[in-house]
Each structure stands twice: as C-alpha cells, then as structure tokens.
Amino acid sequence: MRLSAILTTLVGLAVAGGSAYFARDYVERSKAAAMDAETAATVSVLVARQDISLGQSIEAHLLETIEWPRDAVPAGVFTARDELLPERGQPTRRARRAISQGELIMKVKVSDFGEKVTIGQSLGADLRAMAIKVSAETAVGGFVTPGDFVDVLLTQGSRDDLRAVTILQNIRVIGVDQDADEHVDTPEVARTVTVAVTPEQGQRLALAQQAGTLSLTLRNFEAAETQKLELIRLSDILMDAPLEDRVSRTVVVRRGNVPEVQELR
C-alpha cells in the first residue's frame, strides 16, 4: 500500500511537471510568434532627431530609427543609415528643405552626396524666387518669416489721389534677407523678403515695385482662399468715415449781404 501510494504520487508529480513544462513552452512560443508577427508588420525607418535646416549636412547625430507600419511606409523613405550617411572621406548629403523633428527622412528632401543645395531647389517646377524691398512698416514689423504666406499690396499716388490695391494673394515667403530657415521664428526687421511666384506674378511684382510702395500682410495658415479686392482711394475712406471724422473743405458764398458756408465734395 505504501509503495503504491508513493508510485501514484510520483506519477502525479511527473504529469503535473510535464503539463507545466508544455504550458510554459506553449506560452513562450505564442509570445515569440506574436513578436515575429509584430516585427513583420513594421519596418525600421529614419527620422530627424532634431530640426534640420535647409542646406545643413545630414549627420548621424541628427537621425534616429523608429518602427513604422509596413503597409503605410511612403515611397522614397530611408530604412538604413548606410544609404543616407557617407562612407569615410565621402562628402555628406544636405537637406534640400527644412526638416522638422520627428519627420521622415525621404530622398526628395535630401541631396546626393556632395551636391550643392540652393534655395531654388525648394521651389516648385513653375515657380520663381523674387525679392521685394521692405521695411519694418511694410513687412508687418518684422514678423514675416520664411514659410509664412502673405498678400502683397501696392500703394501709389499722393494727397487726394492716394490709392492702394492688393496685387497678389497667398504668396509663400521663402527667405528673409539671407535667411531661408523656416524654423526661425524670431522677429527681425528685414530689408528684403524673397517670395515664390509664377512668372506672370513676377512681372506684376517688377512693375509694382517701380510704381509705388509694396506692403505685406501676414495671412493665417488656414486662410488659403483668395478674394477679389477692388482698388480703394483715400477719398473712399474719407467718404465712409463718420461725419465728424471727415476731412472737408468749405467755401463761403455771399448772396447779397448773407454769407453761406458750402462744403466742397
């Protein structure tokens, strides 16, 4: 009886141990399969560890690797550092446009090894870069920075013939003086602002700069729509002002011995 009980106990322990072993092995294999499935569903891609300016060299400390859903990886993304970074003694790639922290590093955003980067590479195929002479008063007090969108106004004439008209709307600023970094947001009083325009818009700007004073108005990023704006004259503003604010000219007319004051319109 005692031997039978011992054997039964040993068999029970063996069965329990075997069950625990197989259960643990099953759980581990399930975890491994889940990890393999998760790995297969993503791919390693390179992103910017910090902001990268236009023309800045692409170096290892500016990059980091993250996992990206495999079925959502855009074309032209870099997945390996050796594709992006130069070999020893080889010139670096440079950013063709400003790249924000966390943004995917893509082939269209960087130059070839040793390729020169210019502001023209940030323009669309049908756009041109053109500079506008400005001052603190005509450039929103220096608050216009690269990447902003502006309207361009022309003011010309003098005294009663003074008039203004909006000649261009929703124009992208690509440079302020010699700075084309879109990450710079510090106000600075500039002497020139470079904008991206079509050839036809460039012709209008060239004529307008010779005809009068150009001013910029800063647009909200969400205000992409344009509207038709008519030329406005100083006299239009004065006529719309309250009676007590209008600038008027009068003349005294005498009819016999009775003087009468009449307003000139």
pLDDT tens digits, 219-229: 887 766 777 77
**pLDDT per residue over 122-179, tens digit each?**
677 788 989 888 887 777 777 888 888 999 999 988 877 888 999 999 999 988 876 6
Q: What is the DSSP string of 45-97?
A: EEEESS-B-TT-B--GGGEEEEEEEGGGPPTTB---HHHHSPPTTSPPPBBSS
Nearest to 106 by CA among 117, 118, 96: 96
CB contact at 8 A, 60 and 88: no
CB 122 within 8 Å of CB 137 = no
Is the Cβ–Cβ distance between 167 and 153 less than 8 Å? yes
This model's pTM is above 0.75: no
Q: What are the pLDDT digits (tens) for 78-135? A: 999 999 999 888 999 998 888 889 999 999 889 899 888 777 766 777 889 898 888 8
Do residues 152 and 167 touch, judged by C-beta distance below 8 A? Answer: yes
Quote the CA–CA distance of 74 and 42 in Å, as a whole number: 13
